[in-house]
Chains A and B, each alone.
Chain A
Amino acid sequence: KQEVTQIPAALSVPEGENLVLNCSFTDSAIYNLQWFRQDPGKGLTSLLLIQSSQREQTSGRLNASLDKSSGRSTLYIAASQPGDSATYLCARGYNKLIFGAGTRLAVHP
């Protein structure tokens, strides 16, 4: 059974810190890895998609990497801001995604 694990479950940091969120998965099959953001009571916003043939993607202050050999993906957030406060979810697969439980991030001024 495929599983996706996210560490840490929660994180509280002061504004300006650089952050690393971790996502690990159990099998080495070739799949996409997608990172999402979810604000309370809202849907999911796609942040970055790393296709199975890629190793990383960048968008603004966000950088995500994928290491299929170790079964890990990392989301790096540079210079965090209070507006980054949300739950961050990683998901693996193609159209049938398997989600991690998420990392709840709080960035305080």
Chain B
Amino acid sequence: KAGVTQTPRYLIKTRGQQVTLSCSPISGHRSVSWYQQTPGQGLQFLFEYFSETQRNKGNFPGRFSGRQFSNSRSEMNVSTLELGDSALYLCASSRKLATANTGELFFGEGSRLTVL
């Protein structure tokens, strides 16, 4: 059974550019969430999508956005990149049922973004 797949694994951008990261969840998982990991702030929740709708959002500026497609694949976008956006961006999926809130999260290997 394939795990959570994130692409690209590594990328380098310059300030002011934008970036799009992709996440394919485990087959059958309908919830996808995104996290940012930095040495200074640790792991922080960005947003969660379920059935193509954003269900939760963390405390990040509007430059960070995302979406989910009908096949549960998700993308996140960061516009007008800043040096502080350099981080490991992790995607997680879970089998969230519409009537239950419990479940185990499974993470991908992440996309490491470097902003120069």
Contact = CB atoms under 8 A, between A and B. Distances in A.
A46 B102 contact: no
Given A95-B96, A96-B48, A96-B56, A46 B105 contact: yes
A52 interface: yes
A43 to B, nearest CB: 4
B90 A49 contact: no
Contacts of A44: 90, 92, 107
B109 A42 contact: yes
Given A44-B90, A99-B43, A101-B42, A94 B102 contact: yes
Interface residues of B, number: 29
Contacts, number: 62
A39 to B, nearest CB: 10
Interface string A53-95: 0000000000000000000000000000000000001010011
B104 A46 contact: yes
B115 to A, nearest CB: 18
A43 B43 CA distance: 11
Nearest to A51: B102
Contact of A36 (B42, B44, B107): B107
B101 A46 contact: no
Interface string B21-52: 00000000001010100000011110010100
A99 B42 CA distance: 8
Given A43-B108, A43-B110, A44-B107, A94 B45 contact: no
6 contacts: A43-B107, A43-B109, A46-B105, A95-B48, A95-B96, A99-B44
